[in-house]
Protein backbone atom coordinates (compact mmCIF):
# COMPACT_ATOMS: atom_id res chain seq x y z
CA UNK A 1 0.00 0.00 0.00
CA UNK A 2 1.48 3.37 -1.02
CA UNK A 3 1.40 6.59 1.01
CA UNK A 4 -1.47 8.11 -1.01
CA UNK A 5 -3.64 5.07 -0.40
CA UNK A 6 -2.83 5.12 3.33
CA UNK A 7 -3.81 8.80 3.54
CA UNK A 8 -7.07 8.15 1.67
CA UNK A 9 -7.93 5.21 3.94
CA UNK A 10 -7.13 7.19 7.07
CA UNK A 11 -9.28 10.11 5.91
CA UNK A 12 -12.20 7.78 5.27
CA UNK A 13 -11.83 6.15 8.69
CA UNK A 14 -11.35 9.35 10.65
CA UNK A 15 -13.83 11.48 8.74
CA UNK A 16 -11.47 14.45 8.45
CA UNK A 17 -8.50 15.55 6.40
CA UNK A 18 -4.94 14.57 7.15
CA UNK A 19 -2.23 17.23 6.87
CA UNK A 20 0.60 17.00 4.37
CA UNK A 21 2.93 15.86 7.14
CA UNK A 22 0.59 13.00 8.06
CA UNK A 23 -0.83 14.39 11.31
CA UNK A 24 -4.36 13.29 12.09
CA UNK A 25 -5.95 15.60 14.66
CA UNK A 26 -9.22 15.78 16.59
CA UNK A 27 -10.42 18.23 19.22
CA UNK A 28 -11.73 16.91 22.54
CA UNK A 29 -12.95 19.83 24.61
CA UNK A 30 -10.02 22.24 25.00
CA UNK A 31 -7.48 19.51 24.19
CA UNK A 32 -6.21 18.03 20.93
CA UNK A 33 -5.48 14.39 20.15
CA UNK A 34 -2.99 13.79 17.34
CA UNK A 35 -1.85 10.67 15.53
CA UNK A 36 1.57 10.80 13.85
CA UNK A 37 4.04 8.33 12.43
CA UNK A 38 7.54 8.81 13.76
CA UNK A 39 10.08 8.28 16.54
CA UNK A 40 8.85 9.22 20.02
CA UNK A 41 12.41 9.94 21.18
CA UNK A 42 12.50 12.97 18.88
CA UNK A 43 9.39 14.57 20.38
CA UNK A 44 9.94 18.03 21.90
CA UNK A 45 6.93 18.05 24.22
CA UNK A 46 6.64 18.45 27.97
CA UNK A 47 6.70 14.67 28.39
CA UNK A 48 7.00 11.43 26.49
CA UNK A 49 5.65 8.15 27.82
CA UNK A 50 7.91 5.16 28.23
CA UNK A 51 6.36 1.72 27.86
CA UNK A 52 8.46 0.30 30.69
CA UNK A 53 8.73 -2.97 32.57
CA UNK A 54 8.00 -3.31 36.28
CA UNK A 55 11.60 -2.60 37.29
CA UNK A 56 11.73 0.73 35.40
CA UNK A 57 15.41 -0.01 34.79
CA UNK A 58 15.32 -0.35 31.03
CA UNK A 59 14.56 -3.16 28.63
CA UNK A 60 13.89 -3.72 24.96
CA UNK A 61 11.95 -1.77 22.37
CA UNK A 62 10.84 1.77 23.23
CA UNK A 63 12.00 1.32 26.82
CA UNK A 64 15.60 0.59 25.92
CA UNK A 65 15.69 3.27 23.24
CA UNK A 66 14.48 5.94 25.67
CA UNK A 67 17.04 4.92 28.30
CA UNK A 68 19.86 5.01 25.75
CA UNK A 69 18.85 8.42 24.43
CA UNK A 70 18.28 9.95 27.88
CA UNK A 71 21.65 8.86 29.24
CA UNK A 72 22.73 7.21 32.50
CA UNK A 73 21.06 9.71 34.81
CA UNK A 74 17.65 8.39 33.81
CA UNK A 75 18.61 4.93 35.06
CA UNK A 76 19.87 6.47 38.31
CA UNK A 77 16.59 8.29 38.94
CA UNK A 78 14.52 5.26 37.99
CA UNK A 79 16.47 3.21 40.51
CA UNK A 80 15.12 5.46 43.29
CA UNK A 81 11.50 4.86 42.25
CA UNK A 82 11.55 1.21 43.34
CA UNK A 83 9.63 -0.10 40.37
CA UNK A 84 6.09 0.40 39.17
CA UNK A 85 2.95 -1.75 39.20
CA UNK A 86 1.22 -2.76 35.99
CA UNK A 87 -1.27 -0.05 35.06
CA UNK A 88 0.45 2.62 37.16
CA UNK A 89 2.78 5.47 36.12
CA UNK A 90 5.73 7.42 37.56
CA UNK A 91 7.56 10.50 36.31
CA UNK A 92 11.24 11.40 35.93
CA UNK A 93 13.26 14.11 34.25
CA UNK A 94 14.03 13.75 30.56
CA UNK A 95 17.78 14.38 30.88
CA UNK A 96 19.31 14.22 27.38
CA UNK A 97 15.97 13.77 25.64
CA UNK A 98 14.22 16.65 23.88
CA UNK A 99 11.22 16.14 26.17
CA UNK A 100 11.39 17.70 29.63
CA UNK A 101 10.02 14.62 31.40
CA UNK A 102 9.50 10.91 30.94
CA UNK A 103 6.34 9.34 32.34
CA UNK A 104 6.98 5.62 32.78
CA UNK A 105 4.05 3.23 32.68
CA UNK A 106 3.86 -0.55 32.74
CA UNK A 107 1.43 -2.09 30.29
CA UNK A 108 -0.09 -5.55 30.51
CA UNK A 109 1.26 -8.61 28.78
CA UNK A 110 -1.34 -9.96 26.35
CA UNK A 111 -2.66 -13.32 27.56
CA UNK A 112 -5.58 -13.74 25.22
CA UNK A 113 -7.75 -11.05 26.78
CA UNK A 114 -8.76 -13.09 29.82
CA UNK A 115 -6.44 -11.53 32.42
CA UNK A 116 -7.80 -7.98 32.79
CA UNK A 117 -5.50 -6.72 30.04
CA UNK A 118 -8.02 -4.12 28.88
CA UNK A 119 -8.49 -2.78 32.40
CA UNK A 120 -4.75 -2.50 32.98
CA UNK A 121 -4.11 -0.85 29.60
CA UNK A 122 -6.82 1.76 30.19
CA UNK A 123 -5.29 2.42 33.59
CA UNK A 124 -1.90 3.10 31.96
CA UNK A 125 -3.33 5.93 29.89
CA UNK A 126 -5.39 7.39 32.73
CA UNK A 127 -2.52 7.29 35.21
CA UNK A 128 -0.12 8.90 32.75
CA UNK A 129 -2.54 11.76 32.23
CA UNK A 130 -3.13 12.10 35.97
CA UNK A 131 0.60 12.26 36.58
CA UNK A 132 0.88 14.79 33.76
CA UNK A 133 -1.65 17.13 35.38
CA UNK A 134 -0.05 16.72 38.80
CA UNK A 135 3.26 17.89 37.29
CA UNK A 136 1.96 20.70 35.05
CA UNK A 137 2.68 18.72 31.90
CA UNK A 138 0.59 20.30 29.13
CA UNK A 139 1.74 18.21 26.17
CA UNK A 140 2.43 14.49 26.16
CA UNK A 141 3.37 11.84 23.60
CA UNK A 142 2.38 8.18 23.89
CA UNK A 143 3.72 5.12 22.10
CA UNK A 144 1.48 2.12 21.43
CA UNK A 145 1.71 0.73 24.96
CA UNK A 146 1.99 -3.09 25.18
CA UNK A 147 1.91 -3.53 21.38
CA UNK A 148 5.54 -4.58 21.03
CA UNK A 149 7.15 -7.32 23.08
CA UNK A 150 4.05 -7.62 25.28
CA UNK A 151 2.00 -8.78 22.28
CA UNK A 152 -1.19 -6.74 22.68
CA UNK A 153 -3.07 -6.79 19.33
CA UNK A 154 -2.81 -3.32 17.81
CA UNK A 155 -6.50 -2.91 16.82
CA UNK A 156 -7.66 -3.75 20.36
CA UNK A 157 -4.98 -1.57 21.94
CA UNK A 158 -5.80 1.37 19.70
CA UNK A 159 -9.50 1.33 20.56
CA UNK A 160 -8.69 0.99 24.25
CA UNK A 161 -6.22 3.88 24.13
CA UNK A 162 -8.55 6.26 22.30
CA UNK A 163 -11.50 5.58 24.56
CA UNK A 164 -9.42 5.97 27.72
CA UNK A 165 -7.82 9.23 26.57
CA UNK A 166 -11.06 10.65 25.17
CA UNK A 167 -12.95 9.96 28.39
CA UNK A 168 -10.18 11.44 30.52
CA UNK A 169 -9.94 14.63 28.48
CA UNK A 170 -13.70 15.12 28.61
CA UNK A 171 -13.66 14.85 32.40
CA UNK A 172 -10.43 16.73 33.20
CA UNK A 173 -8.67 19.93 32.18
CA UNK A 174 -4.94 20.55 32.29
CA UNK A 175 -3.52 18.68 29.29
CA UNK A 176 -3.63 20.60 26.00
CA UNK A 177 -2.10 18.08 23.59
CA UNK A 178 -2.01 14.29 23.53
CA UNK A 179 0.05 12.92 20.65
CA UNK A 180 0.28 9.24 19.72
CA UNK A 181 3.58 8.56 17.97
CA UNK A 182 3.45 5.30 16.03
CA UNK A 183 6.55 3.71 14.60
CA UNK A 184 5.04 1.88 11.64
CA UNK A 185 2.30 2.33 9.07
CA UNK A 186 -0.11 -0.39 10.27
CA UNK A 187 -0.15 0.99 13.83
CA UNK A 188 -0.57 4.55 12.53
CA UNK A 189 -3.54 3.43 10.46
CA UNK A 190 -5.19 1.53 13.33
CA UNK A 191 -4.77 4.37 15.82
CA UNK A 192 -6.09 6.94 13.32
CA UNK A 193 -9.09 4.73 12.66
CA UNK A 194 -9.69 4.25 16.40
CA UNK A 195 -9.53 8.01 16.99
CA UNK A 196 -12.23 8.64 14.42
CA UNK A 197 -14.43 5.94 15.92
CA UNK A 198 -13.94 7.27 19.47
CA UNK A 199 -14.95 10.78 18.45
CA UNK A 200 -17.99 9.55 16.53
CA UNK A 201 -19.03 7.41 19.48
CA UNK A 202 -18.77 10.44 21.80
CA UNK A 203 -20.97 12.46 19.46
Rounded to whole angstroms, how far apart are CA atoms 98 and 181? 15
Rounded to whole angstroms, how far apart are CA atoms 107 and 118? 10
Rounded to whole angstroms, how far apart are CA atoms 33 and 179? 6
DSSP code per residue over 137-162: --EEEE--TTSSTT---HHHHHHHHH
User: Is the CB of residue 101 less than 8 Å from the CB of residue 137?
Assistant: yes
Rounded to whole angstroms, how far apart are CA atoms 47 and 19? 23
Is 63 a known active-site residue? yes
Choice among 3, 9, 39, 63 that is catalytic: 63
- Could you list the active site residues? 63
Amino acid sequence: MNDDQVTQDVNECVGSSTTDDGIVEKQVGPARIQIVKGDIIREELDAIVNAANNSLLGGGGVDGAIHRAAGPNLFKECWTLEGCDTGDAKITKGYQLRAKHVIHTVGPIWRGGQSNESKHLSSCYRRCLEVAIENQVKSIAFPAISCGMYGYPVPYAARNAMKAVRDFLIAHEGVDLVRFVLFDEPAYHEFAKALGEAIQEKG
